[in-house]
Amino acid sequence: MDDADLAVRHEVRAEARAKEARLNAKPAAPSAHHCIECGDDISQARRNAVPGVERCIDCQTLSEKKR
C-alpha cells in the first residue's frame, strides 16, 4: 500500500464520518416566542431568520458583546 492509497482511504473515512454527522444532527430547536433573557416578544421575522433563536435582538447583541 502506498501513500496515495492511504490518502484515499483517509478521505473516504472522513466523508463517511461527515455523512453520519449530518444524519445524526438534530434539527434546530424551535425558535422561542419570547426572549429567555427579558421575556420580550421575538418577532416572527427574527424567528424565521434565526432557527432556534432564544433571545430578542437586544439581548442577543448584549450576549455577543460579552463574549
Q: By the criterion CB under 5 A, which residues form the site for Zn ion?
A: 35, 37-38, 40, 56, 59
Q: Taking a C-beta distance cutoff of 8 angstroms, is the pair 53, 46 a contact? A: yes
Is 18 or 36 the residue whose CB approaches Zn ion more closely? 36
Is 26 or 67 the residue whose CB approaches Zn ion more closely? 67
Is 20 or 40 the residue whose CB approaches Zn ion more closely? 40
Distances (CA, A) of 38 to 14, 22, 45: 43, 34, 19
Residue 27 Cβ vs Zn ion, minimum distance, rounded to whole Å: 24
